[in-house]
Structure 1
Amino acid sequence: MEGSLQPQSPLFLTQGPNSQGQRVTYRVVYHLFVQLQKASGLEAVSLHRLRHTFATKLLLRGMESKHAIALTRHREGNLTAFCQASDSDRASVL
Protein backbone atom coordinates (compact mmCIF):
# COMPACT_ATOMS: atom_id res chain seq x y z
CA MET A 1 0.00 0.00 0.00
CA GLU A 2 1.52 3.30 -1.08
CA GLY A 3 2.10 5.86 1.66
CA SER A 4 1.65 3.43 4.52
CA LEU A 5 4.21 3.04 7.28
CA GLN A 6 6.07 -0.21 6.86
CA PRO A 7 8.15 -1.74 9.69
CA GLN A 8 11.45 -0.99 7.95
CA SER A 9 10.52 2.32 6.31
CA PRO A 10 12.44 5.36 7.58
CA LEU A 11 10.72 7.82 9.90
CA PHE A 12 12.95 10.72 8.88
CA LEU A 13 14.57 11.52 5.54
CA THR A 14 17.40 13.94 4.80
CA GLN A 15 16.71 17.17 2.97
CA GLY A 16 20.28 18.13 2.04
CA PRO A 17 21.26 18.74 -1.59
CA ASN A 18 23.82 15.90 -1.57
CA SER A 19 21.77 13.25 0.19
CA GLN A 20 18.13 14.16 -0.25
CA GLY A 21 15.73 11.37 0.60
CA GLN A 22 18.22 9.23 2.54
CA ARG A 23 17.39 7.68 5.92
CA VAL A 24 18.43 9.91 8.84
CA THR A 25 20.61 7.89 11.19
CA TYR A 26 20.07 7.54 14.92
CA ARG A 27 23.40 9.34 15.45
CA VAL A 28 22.14 12.44 13.61
CA VAL A 29 18.84 12.47 15.51
CA TYR A 30 20.65 11.98 18.82
CA HIS A 31 23.11 14.81 18.10
CA LEU A 32 20.28 17.21 17.20
CA PHE A 33 18.32 16.13 20.28
CA VAL A 34 21.29 16.81 22.59
CA GLN A 35 21.78 20.26 21.03
CA LEU A 36 18.10 21.13 21.48
CA GLN A 37 18.10 19.77 25.02
CA LYS A 38 21.10 21.93 26.00
CA ALA A 39 19.67 25.03 24.30
CA SER A 40 16.32 24.62 26.06
CA GLY A 41 17.80 23.93 29.48
CA LEU A 42 15.81 20.73 29.89
CA GLU A 43 17.01 18.20 32.42
CA ALA A 44 18.61 15.02 31.14
CA VAL A 45 16.06 13.02 29.22
CA SER A 46 16.65 10.29 26.65
CA LEU A 47 15.11 9.72 23.27
CA HIS A 48 14.00 6.32 24.49
CA ARG A 49 12.18 7.91 27.43
CA LEU A 50 10.35 10.24 25.02
CA ARG A 51 9.33 7.22 22.96
CA HIS A 52 7.81 5.61 26.05
CA THR A 53 6.03 8.83 27.02
CA PHE A 54 4.59 9.13 23.52
CA ALA A 55 3.32 5.53 23.59
CA THR A 56 1.80 6.02 27.04
CA LYS A 57 -0.03 9.19 25.96
CA LEU A 58 -1.41 7.41 22.89
CA LEU A 59 -2.78 4.56 24.98
CA LEU A 60 -4.18 6.85 27.66
CA ARG A 61 -6.06 8.78 25.01
CA GLY A 62 -7.66 5.57 23.82
CA MET A 63 -5.57 4.52 20.82
CA GLU A 64 -5.64 0.81 20.13
CA SER A 65 -2.38 -0.80 21.18
CA LYS A 66 -1.70 -2.20 17.68
CA HIS A 67 -1.64 1.36 16.31
CA ALA A 68 0.57 2.63 19.12
CA ILE A 69 2.91 -0.29 18.48
CA ALA A 70 3.10 0.63 14.80
CA LEU A 71 3.78 4.30 15.52
CA THR A 72 6.47 3.65 18.12
CA ARG A 73 7.86 0.57 16.40
CA HIS A 74 7.81 -1.41 19.61
CA ARG A 75 7.34 -5.13 19.86
CA GLU A 76 3.90 -5.88 21.26
CA GLY A 77 5.20 -7.41 24.49
CA ASN A 78 7.29 -4.35 25.28
CA LEU A 79 4.54 -1.81 24.78
CA THR A 80 2.30 -2.86 27.62
CA ALA A 81 5.21 -3.29 30.02
CA PHE A 82 6.02 0.42 30.21
CA CYS A 83 2.53 1.83 29.68
CA GLN A 84 1.28 1.28 33.20
CA ALA A 85 -0.43 4.44 34.38
CA SER A 86 -2.18 5.32 37.59
CA ASP A 87 -5.75 6.60 37.74
CA SER A 88 -4.46 10.13 38.35
CA ASP A 89 -2.30 9.91 35.21
CA ARG A 90 -5.33 8.87 33.18
CA ALA A 91 -7.42 11.71 34.58
CA SER A 92 -4.78 14.33 33.77
CA VAL A 93 -4.47 13.16 30.16
CA LEU A 94 -8.17 12.76 29.49
Structure 2
Amino acid sequence: MFLAQDPKNKRQRLGYKGLHKMVRKLGAVAGVEDINPHRFRHTFGTEVTRRGVDPLFGKELMGIKSVQLR
Protein backbone atom coordinates (compact mmCIF):
# COMPACT_ATOMS: atom_id res chain seq x y z
CA MET A 1 0.00 0.00 0.00
CA PHE A 2 2.82 2.41 0.89
CA LEU A 3 6.41 2.44 -0.32
CA ALA A 4 9.40 3.15 1.89
CA GLN A 5 11.17 6.45 1.26
CA ASP A 6 14.44 5.89 3.08
CA PRO A 7 17.45 5.27 0.77
CA LYS A 8 18.14 1.79 2.21
CA ASN A 9 14.66 0.44 1.35
CA LYS A 10 13.59 2.85 -1.41
CA ARG A 11 10.52 1.65 -3.35
CA GLN A 12 10.03 -1.45 -1.19
CA ARG A 13 6.79 -2.12 0.65
CA LEU A 14 6.58 -0.19 3.89
CA GLY A 15 6.40 -2.56 6.86
CA TYR A 16 4.31 -2.14 9.99
CA LYS A 17 7.06 -0.36 11.93
CA GLY A 18 7.58 2.13 9.11
CA LEU A 19 3.84 2.71 8.76
CA HIS A 20 3.52 3.15 12.54
CA LYS A 21 6.33 5.72 12.52
CA MET A 22 4.78 7.59 9.57
CA VAL A 23 1.34 7.73 11.22
CA ARG A 24 2.83 8.97 14.51
CA LYS A 25 4.75 11.73 12.71
CA LEU A 26 1.65 12.82 10.77
CA GLY A 27 -0.38 12.72 13.99
CA ALA A 28 2.16 14.99 15.69
CA VAL A 29 1.96 17.48 12.81
CA ALA A 30 -1.86 17.40 12.99
CA GLY A 31 -1.87 17.69 16.78
CA VAL A 32 -3.48 14.26 17.32
CA GLU A 33 -2.16 12.36 20.33
CA ASP A 34 -1.97 8.57 20.75
CA ILE A 35 -2.46 7.81 17.05
CA ASN A 36 -1.47 4.49 15.50
CA PRO A 37 -2.49 2.47 12.43
CA HIS A 38 -4.82 0.23 14.43
CA ARG A 39 -6.86 3.25 15.47
CA PHE A 40 -7.87 3.75 11.82
CA ARG A 41 -9.01 0.12 11.63
CA HIS A 42 -11.04 0.51 14.82
CA THR A 43 -12.62 3.75 13.56
CA PHE A 44 -13.53 2.10 10.25
CA GLY A 45 -15.21 -0.82 12.06
CA THR A 46 -17.13 1.54 14.33
CA GLU A 47 -18.36 3.67 11.42
CA VAL A 48 -19.42 0.64 9.37
CA THR A 49 -21.47 -0.60 12.33
CA ARG A 50 -23.00 2.82 13.02
CA ARG A 51 -24.11 3.10 9.40
CA GLY A 52 -26.08 -0.12 9.64
CA VAL A 53 -23.88 -2.43 7.60
CA ASP A 54 -24.48 -6.12 8.33
CA PRO A 55 -21.87 -7.18 10.94
CA LEU A 56 -20.77 -10.21 8.90
CA PHE A 57 -20.20 -8.04 5.83
CA GLY A 58 -18.37 -5.48 7.99
CA LYS A 59 -16.05 -8.22 9.20
CA GLU A 60 -15.46 -9.28 5.60
CA LEU A 61 -14.59 -5.69 4.65
CA MET A 62 -12.07 -5.58 7.48
CA GLY A 63 -10.56 -8.95 6.62
CA ILE A 64 -11.59 -10.60 9.89
CA LYS A 65 -11.59 -14.38 9.47
CA SER A 66 -13.54 -15.40 12.58
CA VAL A 67 -17.35 -15.55 12.26
CA GLN A 68 -17.81 -15.17 16.03
CA LEU A 69 -19.83 -12.01 16.79
CA ARG A 70 -19.48 -10.10 20.04
Which bracket does the TM-score occupy, shorter chain normalised? 0.5 to 0.7
58-67 or 27-36, larger mean C-alpha shift: 58-67
Q: 2:46 aligns with which of 39, 47, 56?
A: 56
Name the residue aligned to 1:14: 3
Is 1:73 the counterpart of 2:66? The answer is no
Report the TM-score, using the length of structure 1 for normalisation: 0.52
User: What's the % identity of the aligned pairs?
Assistant: 25
Judged with a 3 Å threshold, the aligned counterparts in structure 2 of structure 1 residues 70 and 24 are, in CA distance, closer, same or farther, namely farther
Structure 1 gaps of 5+ residues are 1-11, 82-94
Superposition RMSD on alpha carbons, in Å? 2.5
Name the residue aligned to 1:89: none
Structure 2 gaps of 5+ residues are none
- Could you tell me how far 1:34 is from its partner in structure 2? 0.5
For 2:19 and 2:4, the matched residues in 1 are separated by 14
Report the TM-score, using the length of structure 2 for normalisation: 0.64
Tell me: higher relative CO, structure 1 or 2? Use CA pairs within 8 A at least 6 residues apart. 1
Letter in 2 for 1:58: V
- Could you tell me how far 1:40 is from its partner in structure 2? 0.9
> Does structure 1 retain, via aligned residues, the 8 Å contact 2:2–2:14?
yes
The C-alpha deviation readout for 1:32-89, integer Å capped at 9, x for no partner, is 1010111111121332233122101101112222332122222333xx44xxxxxxxx
